[in-house]
Amino acid sequence: MPSARGRPRSESSRCAILETALRLARTKGYVQITMDGIAAEANVGKQTIYRWWPSKAAVVLEALRENARVEIETPDCGSLQTDLEYFFNSTFAVARRRRGIDQVLRAMMAEAQYDVEFAKEFRRYVIEPRRAVLFDILERGRARGEVGPNANPTLLVDAAFGVMWYRLLADVGEINEKLAKELAILLAKGSE
């Protein structure tokens, strides 16, 4: 493969930038952070950030992507409803463990409404991996005979994520263990 133009990425600088961008977005709010602020806190030059990412949104998105890679777990708990509840609890726990991550997700969704290219990347790296995990859980349930032949996995996944995003974006209800249990019951019954 031909070498990339310019100096290669320093992994330590890359990690510092991503950690800083996500921390600042969580604590100060996405709208309040700047590339200058990220560069200063990460102890790198602003030109280094712009060499690797085209925008603040792209930096924060990659930071979220790195975070999501660590967070997705899908153990086989033995039943569809239990697998679903574990998945939802695990998903919701991220916001409880990482204060401010819900605000970052809201900001990323808002950014996706105005930037078509960013929206594609946001779906590809944040939304679709979690949807894929939920599809896998439903497929595992199908293999165990818990998902009926007339169940519509796409509609079930849409319903689950619709509830999550609605609550997150409109701030109309808790995203907690109770919701995880209720969604698991709803999807398990809808799968019959």
Question: What is the reported pLDDT for 10?
Answer: 83
Residue 3 — very low, low, confident or very high, per pLDDT cuts 50/70/90?
A: very low
Contact at 8 Å (CB) between 25 and 107? yes
Question: What is the reported pLDDT for 100?
Answer: 87
Selection from 63, 67, 66, 84 nearest residue 75 by Cα: 84
Contact at 8 Å (CB) between 171 and 145? no
Q: What is the mean pLDDT of residues 109-123?
A: 94
Query: How much of the chain, in percent, has pLDDT values that exceed 90?
Result: 76
Count the residues in the chain.
192
Q: How many CB atoms are located within 10 Å of the residue 24 CB? A: 24
Domains of the chain (ranges; CATH) run 11-61 (1.10.10.60), 72-190 (1.10.357.10)
Q: What is the pLDDT of residues 10-67, one digit of tens each?
A: 889 999 999 999 999 999 999 999 999 999 999 999 999 999 999 999 999 999 888 7
